[in-house]
Structure 1
Amino acid sequence: MWKITSRFFLIYLVVFGTWFMFEHETVHACSCAAPPNIEDQLNLKTAIFTGKVVSLTQPVKGKLMSTADPVKVQFEVKTVWKGELSSQTTVYTAMSSESCGYEEFDVDEEFIVFAYGDPDHLETGICEGNKTIAAAQEDLKALGAGYEPAKITLHQKDSSDITSNNKEFNSSLVIAPAVFLSLLILLAITLKRRGR
């Protein structure tokens, strides 16, 4: 009886453990609902502004990378409709559109940006309604007159905080399966000795 139960338990652990190990590797494409209207954007977003992209900083390359790793986008802010922004503002977006990142930002291009999150750590993505200035004429008309950004540069969280968080998360993806595999081997050895 013990051998049947232990074998069933071992099979269960192998199946469950295999699912657990590979569950995090599944990639889901980003899916967006219809973009909200300007009134909703003004209510929902932390910041709405137009600005020119000054720099794009890609995430630090490591052994384990994710499509959700953050890209740091530095803007020279022109006009603000919501938020207390400085003339130089940073917004983060996921590296890939697979993780809802906005990949269209280009240096020296101007955009209207709809950002959410903490004022010290603004984020955006493909579902937020960002557009080039040329494509945003209807939005700009609906927003009306904005205001100028502050002339000072506000302190914003550095992407190194995010990178360190991602490294902790990525290392857990390696450690958890290794611990599970060790336990599985230990269980198999124990069951083999009892079977003698």
Structure 2
Amino acid sequence: MTYKPPRVTLPIPSEKIDGQTVTFRPVRDGIDSEVSGIIQVIEDANGFNVNASYVVSQDPPQSHIYWFDQSEIDALARSLLKEKRRILIVDDDRESTHLVKILLERTGGYLVLEENDAARAYHSARDFRPDVILLDIMMPETDGGEVAAQIEADPELQGTPVIFLTALVTEHEIKAGLRIEGHQSLAKPINIPELINRIEESLPRTS
């Protein structure tokens, strides 16, 4: 029998949902843990279907498409209307990035995308359009300085604040105003309250 995705009514305009990166639980796939995916809105004469593709395996790479039902779409819309700040964290340490993601998203004010491959960081930034980029300096193959240079060379991304994460400097040096390549920095291990302060300081002021 052919699977028929749920028909849904969008509680907010489709352009406010389509293309958004969200965190969700694909419970009807038998997964009761949070995953991240990019929403795709499909419209036809009968209404809307909404899905997101999420990673189920890294080796080999494998993804799955999850179709949202009405209650899930309503919850996602409520979450998106809060206008969470989009944070891209680039670090080859998967455990570290995932912990930072959990702790930031737990505050309710941030939507965090993890990127553990520095070579893909620029493309992730292009797709995700973050408000702030958290960037580890020491990574294999491509270091944080190279990624920052790619960001700065892109007219659409060059204004995005970058905060370097590094174990190469001390917290005392950071508090003394040390900047790396003109960017703010934060000493590892990361102190979450201090990280939140740096993120908020980096964001444009609103009237």
TM-score, normalising length: structure 2: 0.20
Q: Which has the larger radius of gyration?
A: 1
| Structure with greater proportional helix content | 1
Q: Work out which structure has the larger RCO, using CA pairs closer than 8 Å and 6 or more positions apart in sequence.
A: 1
The structure with the greater share of residues assigned to strand is 2
For normalisation by structure 1, the TM-score amounts to 0.21
